[in-house]
Structure 1
Amino acid sequence: MSSVADSSRGPRSAPFFSKEATIAPPGFSRWMVPPAALAVHLCIGQAYAFSVFNAPLTKVIGITQSAADDWSLTTLGWIFSLAIVCLGLSAAFGGKWLERVGPRRTMFTAACCFGGGFLVSALGVWMHQIWLLYLGYGVIGGIGLGLGYVSPVSTLIRWFPDRRGMATGLAIMGFGGGAMIAAPLSVMLMKHFQSATSIGVAETFVVLGIAYFISMTIGSLAIRVPAPDWKPAGWTPPATTQKKLVSSNHVHIDQALKTPQFYLIWLVLFLNVTAGIGILGQASVMIQESFKGSVSAAAAAGFVGLLSLFNMGGRFVWASASDWVGRKNTYFIFFALGALLYYGVPHFAQGGTIVLFVLAYCVILSMYGGGFSTVPAYLADMFGTAYVGGIHGRLLTAWAAAGVAGPVLVNYVRAYEVANGVVGADAYTMTVHIMAVLLVIGFVCNLLVSRVNEKHHMTESQLAAGK
């Protein structure tokens, strides 16, 4: 009798942070899940606004201007790169863990890491120890970024099998929009805490760390996963369509690494991200140098926020559009249009046409964001949904690699140009032309993507056994 009573409680008897405890009850609305995802992604999207801290962090000692012992921009650039590297690595290694323990525990762990990373970084600013910023925001915060990134994505794909692109757009648009909130908020907080002996960055880190921990924790508590046999009312899985490369079969995480399609899509993501992430990391400084004397620090922060808005909107719009035009065709647009815009940006800057300069980067960043939100659906189309969370996590190593390549291209190519007497807008000309070439290469990689060979598909018995 007691065993029957125990079994009737179902998920309620499971530990609170277990996967079983997050299974939604019958009648649960799937539209309750996107807000939980946004509560996490709007926080970790702060990474895109980190450039607003770069200039102040070069004056930690000098306060009003850089002192001899202050950090340089190239030294500070590695904080953002480390965070993206750790994002990709934690997503890759945490993908399998996510599938085993569920999104609630994964998202709460992300909240602890991301919020805690800010506190460690604040200590680094107070002590003026750059390694603490590398450890805090770069490593610990980067782990929080990766775990917080993948868990809502895989969950929403399962809730919206009928609109995969829209689902990934809903999950990931918050990451792109986080900077829209974080950039002006960070500037405001730094001004509030600024004094004769402090630039206000350390205090700002403390406030942001606590606020982000609370928001991400709320999201982790609200998340739910569908029951194994759940599907939307009235929805029938579509037949496999050769034209759109949509497969009804499933490929195991480990088997996906043996397919050429995985590596082609890896390159597609790597090249698309490399072409955009370096610009995001230095957006505030870049526009001030390109239009010296015309753009203030506050206006540059507004530029970062505007890029964030298009980054966020592009994630939803492009991913939703991919449900109709196909993932492969969507990436064709990204690479072709992006290459043309990158080629034109130096001419806009040299001509002093700030409106075209800003508009070009807004479109570029919309496609950059769209690339992130479209790729999980691309993977689900190619490899099925059974292990898409883990496969997506491993693919994000492309983001980790791009997190180094993009900022290095922007920072060090610019430094080389300046050392050779090139100043202002011209210092970025070579960089954006390199970006255009990378997008052309990405166009070719996307062209080579084809259907996964049947030998990699899982059988019914393998699916049932989970291997």
Structure 2
Amino acid sequence: MDIIRKHYGAVKYERSERWLEAEQYLFYFPPLRFNRFLLFPAALLIQLSVGSLYAWSGYNLPIEAYMYGRNGGIDRNIASNIFYVAIGVFGITTAVMGPWLERRGPMLGCMLGAVCFYIGNLLAGLGVYTKHIELIIFGYGIFGGIGLGVAYIAPVSPLQKWFPEARGIAAGVAVCGFGGGSIIAPYSQKFLIGVNYHKTGEVGIVGVPLTFVILGSVYFVAMMLSALVLRMPPPGYTVKGITVDTIKGAEGYQSKPIVVAVGSAEDSKDILDQKDVLEKINIEDAESSNSSKVGADTNIFAMTLAESLSSSEYWCMWFMLLGSQVTGLVIISKIQSMIQNQFKRDAETAALINSLLGGCNLLGRLVMPLISDVLPHVTGGVAGRKSIFLFSLCTQVVCLSILPSIVDSQQLNGFLGCIFAIAFCYGGSIGTIPAFLADQFGAKNVGATHGIILMAWATGAVAGGLTFTEVLKHEQIKYAPNIVPIYNLNFRWLLGPVFFGLIACILVKTNLRDRRLPYVEGEVFRLRFVNGRMLRFYRTGRIHMLSKHEEDREWSEYLRALGH
């Protein structure tokens, strides 16, 4: 227990003065200087590489045909389990390695992820060649899953810290490439393996085993080069008054900082001159005023990692993410098989739809986080990240409710409309969650909080995927040889976790006063009503709506008690 408490305790990333000096340059030596916007292409390349996981469904039929013989392209539901193993290990890795990455830095984390993912691909290729499914599971599922987990979270944390004024779009760009991987990878796989290999045995360029070697090598090089760009901001970094400690709504509650005017010649042994920081790190565009806060600038509502992980809001968000992800995950893992078996389309069409699904996933990761940044400005601060999740979960409830009738009538266009909407919402949710976590608990903790909450994503993939597969096997036996209704029961049970996630989302408190104002005697719960007023629920069953005057008075008294 002491080891666990220490691991998830205070998180601090320390660098020497010499290393901070080196980080002012892109490759740690002159002449190219670092600019925070270079993090975006680096993050994109990393995520495109690890996002190839989303195209695993393109491996299912070729692997089974190579190892067990061709059967006309029918999915045996064997190779698909490797996807779930990789996702499960991915989630465990992010949960365990999140605090480690915050302490050791994103560059080292990404390099570790690149090495593990490369080993995973090599072992998977060897496993296919020798026809040992256990070696593929160990290689891609275990080693690959570890590499995927570490590399995935490596660019997310620094982007949240470098762009505190645009957390949504920073989060979206940080993870959008993961969805883009399923656009590029299916065609790369088909080109190297052979489009109809699983049906005709006709090999493409290299066949199944060497495809893992070639693509794994490409991913390794891209990730290692991108890792060199990743780094954390310098100590005291702030944009528009927002620091790595700042939680949403608490921007005006900073402790008194040392203020150094930009352009001042003042220097000190104890602090970094802000003008020098701006020149060295090339972040002049990050400042919007003539002064900046440096040194001991701390938000009075800043949360430690332990406080964040033990809060009710965090675990409501955990179940909220689980509900928003489970449907998208099982559809992504099965989409090519569904298109070929359910709607009798060929492998090329299935690969095209897989890529289009990846495009919707990618688009959601970019558009919805951006909207979450813009909404508060448009609506006067009453909407944002939570609204994105409410929209996502409600959309998935509607789509899952009508999918059985669409499948029964074999309406491919209607089916595609629903799964594309689900993929868009799925991507939007996973793209928005890092910014949502930074808003709630501070960017300082986002590496660890994001890593642990990805366990919800992994749980959805493993538990949801395995349940989906078992139900599908039962339905295939039940309805054979008729395959039309075999997916309907899966669409129906998926409504359960999605609806549960919707309830959890409603319970997430995003207003600073709702979260920090102490409960009064007898109060057991509170909600923010649609008119912006606070509702208090008491043990006796009484409900009281506070007036604005009452709330302001209580808040002022609370702030005075804090000495602010």
Mapping of 1:178-197 within 5 angstroms? Answer: 178-191=181-194
Is the alpha carbon distance of 1:73 and 1:272 closer, same or farther for their aligned partners in structure 2, counting shifts above 3 Å?
farther
Q: Please name the residue that 1:317 is paired with.
A: 367
Is the alpha carbon distance of 1:446 and 1:239 closer, same or farther for their aligned partners in structure 2, counting shifts above 3 Å?
closer
1:424 counterpart = 2:480: no
CA apart distance, 1:426? 1.0
Q: Please name the residue that 1:463 is paired with.
A: none
1:305 counterpart = 2:369: no
Is the alpha carbon distance of 1:133 and 1:378 closer, same or farther for their aligned partners in structure 2, counting shifts above 3 Å?
same
Looking at structure 2, the residues matched to 411 and 420 of structure 1 have their Cα atoms a distance apart, in angstroms, of 14
Q: Please name the residue that 2:107 is paired with.
A: 104
Is the alpha carbon distance of 1:379 and 1:335 closer, same or farther for their aligned partners in structure 2, counting shifts above 3 Å?
same
Q: Secondary structure at the match of 2:509?
A: coil
Structure 2: which amino acid aligns with 1:216?
M
1:288 counterpart = 2:288: no
List runs of 5+ in structure 2 lacking aligned partners. 1-15, 251-298, 376-382, 519-564
Mapping of 1:192-203 within 5 angstroms? Answer: 200-203=207-210
Mapping of 1:327-366 within 5 angstroms? Answer: 327-366=385-424
Q: Please name the residue that 2:305 is paired with.
A: 253
Q: Secondary structure at the match of 1:105?
A: helix
Q: Is the 8 A contact 2:392 2:425 kept in 1?
A: yes
Could you state the TM-score of these two structures normalised by the residue count of structure 1? 0.86
Structure 2: which amino acid aligns with 1:271?
G
Q: Please name the residue that 1:119 is paired with.
A: 122
Could you state the TM-score of these two structures normalised by the residue count of structure 2? 0.72
Q: Please name the residue that 2:234 is paired with.
A: 227
**Counterpart among 77, 81, 87 of residue 78 in structure 1:** 81
Q: Is the 8 A contact 2:437 2:446 kept in 1?
A: yes
Q: Secondary structure at the match of 1:396?
A: helix
Is the alpha carbon distance of 1:291 and 1:66 closer, same or farther for their aligned partners in structure 2, counting shifts above 3 Å?
closer
Q: Is the 8 A contact 2:129 2:209 kept in 1?
A: yes
Is the alpha carbon distance of 1:429 and 1:377 closer, same or farther for their aligned partners in structure 2, counting shifts above 3 Å?
same
Is the alpha carbon distance of 1:312 and 1:384 closer, same or farther for their aligned partners in structure 2, counting shifts above 3 Å?
same
Is the alpha carbon distance of 1:239 and 1:432 closer, same or farther for their aligned partners in structure 2, counting shifts above 3 Å?
closer
Q: Please name the residue that 1:3 is paired with.
A: none
Is the alpha carbon distance of 1:302 and 1:160 closer, same or farther for their aligned partners in structure 2, counting shifts above 3 Å?
same
Q: Is the 8 A contact 1:122 1:202 kept in 2?
A: yes
CA apart distance, 1:276? 1.4
1:434 counterpart = 2:493: yes
1:241 counterpart = 2:246: no
Q: Is the 8 A contact 1:284 1:297 kept in 2?
A: yes
**Counterpart among 62, 70, 77 of residue 56 in structure 1:** 62
Please say which of residues 421-430 and 162-171 is displaced more in the overlay.
Answer: 421-430
Percent of paired sites with the same residue: 32
Looking at structure 1, the residues matched to 93 and 117 of structure 2 have their Cα atoms a distance apart, in angstroms, of 12
Looking at structure 2, the residues matched to 53 and 308 of structure 1 have their Cα atoms a distance apart, in angstroms, of 16
Looking at structure 2, the residues matched to 248 and 334 of structure 1 have their Cα atoms a distance apart, in angstroms, of 33
Looking at structure 2, the residues matched to 27 and 398 of structure 1 have their Cα atoms a distance apart, in angstroms, of 39
Task: Render the CA deviation track for 1:177-202: whole Å, top value 9, x for unaligned.
Answer: 11100011101110189696979211
1:208 counterpart = 2:215: yes
Is the alpha carbon distance of 1:190 and 1:149 closer, same or farther for their aligned partners in structure 2, counting shifts above 3 Å?
same
Please say which of residues 384-393 and 199-208 is displaced more in the overlay.
Answer: 199-208
Q: Secondary structure at the match of 1:236?
A: coil
**Counterpart among 27, 45, 54 of residue 39 in structure 1:** 45
Please say which of residues 261-270 and 250-259 is displaced more in the overlay.
Answer: 250-259
Q: Please name the residue that 2:436 is paired with.
A: 378
Is the alpha carbon distance of 1:266 and 1:8 closer, same or farther for their aligned partners in structure 2, counting shifts above 3 Å?
closer
Is the alpha carbon distance of 1:161 and 1:61 closer, same or farther for their aligned partners in structure 2, counting shifts above 3 Å?
closer
Task: Render the CA deviation track for 1:285-305: whole Å, top value 9, x for unaligned.
Answer: 01112212xx10111011110
Structure 2: which amino acid aligns with 1:398?
A
Q: Please name the residue that 2:132 is paired with.
A: 129
List runs of 5+ in structure 1 lacking aligned partners. 1-6, 456-467
Structure 1: which amino acid aligns with 2:45?
A
CA apart distance, 1:254? 2.5
Structure 1: which amino acid aligns with 2:157?
S
Task: Render the CA deviation track for 1:34-81: whole Å, top value 9, x for unaligned.
Answer: 1011110000001110001111122114554379xxx97333222001
CA apart distance, 1:228? 2.0
Please say which of residues 213-222 and 433-442 is displaced more in the overlay.
Answer: 433-442
Q: Please name the residue that 1:461 is paired with.
A: none
Q: Please name the residue that 2:158 is paired with.
A: 155
Q: Please name the residue that 1:90 is paired with.
A: 93
Task: Render the CA deviation track for 1:59-116: whole Å, top value 9, x for unaligned.
Answer: 114554379xxx9733322200111111111111111111111011100111111111
Is the alpha carbon distance of 1:197 and 1:433 closer, same or farther for their aligned partners in structure 2, counting shifts above 3 Å?
closer
Is the alpha carbon distance of 1:137 and 1:22 closer, same or farther for their aligned partners in structure 2, counting shifts above 3 Å?
farther
Is the alpha carbon distance of 1:370 and 1:197 closer, same or farther for their aligned partners in structure 2, counting shifts above 3 Å?
closer
Is the alpha carbon distance of 1:268 and 1:23 closer, same or farther for their aligned partners in structure 2, counting shifts above 3 Å?
farther
Q: Please name the residue that 1:4 is paired with.
A: none
Looking at structure 2, the residues matched to 24 and 383 of structure 1 have their Cα atoms a distance apart, in angstroms, of 37
Looking at structure 2, the residues matched to 115 and 454 of structure 1 have their Cα atoms a distance apart, in angstroms, of 49
Is the alpha carbon distance of 1:440 and 1:120 closer, same or farther for their aligned partners in structure 2, counting shifts above 3 Å?
same
Q: Is the 8 A contact 2:247 2:440 kept in 1?
A: no
Q: Which has the larger radius of gyration?
A: 2
Looking at structure 1, the residues matched to 189 and 367 of structure 2 have their Cα atoms a distance apart, in angstroms, of 27
Please say which of residues 54-63 and 39-48 is displaced more in the overlay.
Answer: 54-63
Q: Is the 8 A contact 2:195 2:348 kept in 1?
A: no
CA apart distance, 1:454? 7.1
Bigger relative contact order (CA 8 A; separation at least 6): 1
Is the alpha carbon distance of 1:254 and 1:22 closer, same or farther for their aligned partners in structure 2, counting shifts above 3 Å?
farther
1:65 counterpart = 2:71: yes
Structure 2: which amino acid aligns with 1:124?
G
Is the alpha carbon distance of 1:28 and 1:207 closer, same or farther for their aligned partners in structure 2, counting shifts above 3 Å?
closer
1:142 counterpart = 2:156: no
User: Higher helix share goes to which structure?
Assistant: 1
Q: Is the 8 A contact 2:322 2:497 kept in 1?
A: no
Structure 2: which amino acid aligns with 1:264?
C
Q: Is the 8 A contact 1:59 1:66 kept in 2?
A: no
User: What is the aligned-residue RMSD (CA, Å)?
Assistant: 2.9
CA apart distance, 1:166? 0.7
Is the alpha carbon distance of 1:220 and 1:59 closer, same or farther for their aligned partners in structure 2, counting shifts above 3 Å?
same
Is the alpha carbon distance of 1:454 and 1:25 closer, same or farther for their aligned partners in structure 2, counting shifts above 3 Å?
farther
Structure 2: which amino acid aligns with 1:286?
M
Q: Is the 8 A contact 1:63 1:196 kept in 2?
A: no
Q: Is the 8 A contact 2:247 2:442 kept in 1?
A: no
**Counterpart among 327, 330, 351 of residue 278 in structure 1:** 330
Looking at structure 1, the residues matched to 413 and 101 of structure 2 have their Cα atoms a distance apart, in angstroms, of 44
Alignment: residue pair count: 434
Is the alpha carbon distance of 1:193 and 1:135 closer, same or farther for their aligned partners in structure 2, counting shifts above 3 Å?
farther
Task: Render the CA deviation track for 1:312-362: whole Å, top value 9, x for unaligned.
Answer: 010010111112231111111011111101112222222232122112111
